[in-house]
Amino acid sequence: MNSTALQHRLRLLCMILVTGLFFCLPARASNRSEIVIGTHLPLTGVLAGVGQEQKWSYEEAVRDVNATGGIFVKEYGKKLPVRLIIEDDESNVSQSVRAVERLIKFHTIDMLLSGFAENNGVISACATAEKYKKYYHASISWGAPWSRHKFKWSTLFFFDVEQGVAVPFQLWNSMPRDKRPKKPAIFIEDVADGRILGDLIKSVSKKYGYEFALSEILPSGATDYSAHIMRAKALGVDAILIFAGGTDCVTFVRQMRKNNFSVGYFHGWKGTWSGKFWKDLGNDAQFILCDGFWSMDFPFPGARELGERYQKRFGESSVSVGCTYALAQILWQAIEKAGTLDGKKVRNAVLNNRFETVMGPVKYQQNGVATFVSTANQWINGKQELVYPFKWAKTSVKLPPSWEDRH
């Protein structure tokens, strides 16, 4: 064979190899122009208030990262902008599952950001993502029930439930002895995470020297809680801890006022922290405490600026948006550290790196869980004043007067 023929054959072989390599590349590699993130949120239904806050935080996180050109993904050798697709799960577990399936099968998303609340479908959504091998970056679920599933395609960012339920008792013990509750009551919504929380509250209360004069289950979506209220009034209850949805908490407070029953301390989980709670109750929400995931008073870069942006947009404060904004921050950083949009590799990057967020530094454990400190805030003149953690609080709990003296 002469040299000319040999060179021709070598060129032909090279062309075949190059063509083969081209067709072996991932189908989307050559034309990848964005990162598609999906989420399911309660934009309608009983959790619509908190769903709207979460929607805003995700949209702001997307806007902020896209303002820098997007996320650099080494696999593609360039920055890619993020596109967020939101499905309304209607505050319903089964709808959460269907929403995740639509995001994966119809919208072909790359990864998922968390919905709201364990009993509203976060765990079920994680299980659905597991089925399709899509990474689900979760939050707002108790660690123990989530961990029992041993998810391989999910991680969890939320507060430790025992720390969270201890907050009221730490606040009580910070008060002068004569101001501390003597006959507290606890009212718990009849849902799975409520039962977990209720049992733990009663257990932890004993460690701080408190016993409940009354402990009752609240039916979700009821229009009349007067029987519960009158039993508490008859017992001389002077403090209330409540875990219920926003609409139910509003109904409960309205009926307390209607029955002229006031207490020196009222602290809610889940239902008392959205801006809608103050909008619905107005000055009747004054002095009520709420749990929270975050505060704009946190001493971390970007926290105050994010809170001010929220206030400018809605005319109110938020104790939640920093948590879900940080969840997105972690995901953006993890994608860049992984250098790929392979969900499994992004999850590994989440587990093996430290992240800087508006919630402060975040480091996940190898079981897939990272925790933060649950806060307590008090509604004062339409704003949520941070009262816990003590090291960041700028004020202490203010005890309310009776109903007739509040206006």
Domain hosting residue 47, numbered range: 35-160+302-372
What's the pLDDT tens digit per position in 180-222?
999 999 999 988 778 888 899 999 999 999 999 999 999 988 9
Residues 154 and 265 in one domain: no
According to DSSP, the β-strands at 154-159 and 369-372 are parallel
Name the nearest CA neighbour of 335 among 114, 154, 110: 110
Q: Is residue 129 part of a domain?
A: yes
According to DSSP, the β-strands at 360-363 and 154-159 are unpaired
pLDDT of 44 above 50: yes
Residue type, 319: V
How many domains does the chain contain in total? 2
Supply the pLDDT for residue 28. Answer: 46
Q: What is the mean pLDDT of residues 389-397?
A: 94
What's the pLDDT tens digit per position in 132-154?
999 999 999 989 889 999 999 99
What's the pLDDT tens digit per position in 58-102?
999 999 999 999 999 999 999 999 999 999 999 888 999 999 999
Q: What is the mean pLDDT of residues 5-16?
A: 53
Name the nearest CA neighbour of 169 among 140, 214, 212: 212
Q: Is residue 12 part of a domain?
A: no
CA distance linking residue 58 with residue 53, whole number of Å: 9
CA distance linking residue 174 with residue 177, whole number of Å: 9
pLDDT of 9 above 70: no
Q: Is residue 30 part of a domain?
A: no
Asked if residue 347 lies in contact with residue 339, where contact means CB atoms within 8 angstroms, the answer is no
Residues 332 and 318 in one domain: yes
Name the nearest CA neighbour of 36 among 135, 161, 125: 135
Residues 255 and 400 in one domain: yes
Supply the pLDDT for residue 275. Answer: 85
What's the pLDDT tens digit per position in 107-133?
999 999 999 976 668 999 999 999 999
Return the structure tokens found at 176: 């002068």
CA distance linking residue 376 with residue 267, whole number of Å: 9
Residues 170 and 205 in one domain: yes
Residue that has been written with the tokens 């809608």 in this structure: 276
Grade residue 25 by pLDDT with cuts at 50, 70 and 90: very low
Residues 381 and 362 in one domain: no
CA distance linking residue 166 with residue 374, whole number of Å: 10
Name the nearest CA neighbour of 256 among 274, 238, 279: 238
Asked if residue 372 lies in contact with residue 389, where contact means CB atoms within 8 angstroms, the answer is no
> At CA 310, angle to CA 135 and CA 395, rounded to 5?
105
Neighbours of 104 (CB within 10 A): 18
Asked if residue 97 lies in contact with residue 128, where contact means CB atoms within 8 angstroms, the answer is yes
Name the nearest CA neighbour of 120 among 101, 158, 94, 138: 94
Return the structure tokens found at 369: 């869980």
Phi, psi torsion values for 111, nearest 5 degrees: -150, 170
Supply the pLDDT for residue 12. Answer: 53
Residues 350 and 322 in one domain: yes
Asked if residue 41 lies in contact with residue 48, where contact means CB atoms within 8 angstroms, the answer is no
Rg (CA), the chain: 25
Asked if residue 26 lies in contact with residue 92, where contact means CB atoms within 8 angstroms, the answer is no
Grade residue 3 by pLDDT with cuts at 50, 70 and 90: low
Asked if residue 396 lies in contact with residue 174, where contact means CB atoms within 8 angstroms, the answer is yes
Return the structure tokens found at 151: 């998810």
Neighbours of 323 (CB within 10 A): 26
What's the pLDDT tens digit per position in 315-355?
888 999 999 999 999 999 999 999 999 999 999 999 999 99
> At CA 124, angle to CA 121 and CA 127, rounded to 5?
150
Residues 349 and 243 in one domain: no
CATH number at residue 279: 3.40.50.2300
b/e map 106-145, b = 16+ CB within 10 Å: eeebbbbbbbbbbbbbbbbbbbbbbeeebbbbbbbbbbeb
Q: Is residue 63 part of a domain?
A: yes
Supply the pLDDT for residue 8. Answer: 57
Supply the pLDDT for residue 223. Answer: 92
Return the structure tokens found at 391: 């090291």
Residues 189 and 124 in one domain: no
Supply the pLDDT for residue 319. Answer: 92
Supply the pLDDT for residue 23. Answer: 45
Grade residue 1 by pLDDT with cuts at 50, 70 and 90: low
CA distance linking residue 202 with residue 181, whole number of Å: 15
Q: Is residue 277 part of a domain?
A: yes
Q: What percent of the chain has pLDDT over 70?
A: 92
Q: Is residue 176 part of a domain?
A: yes
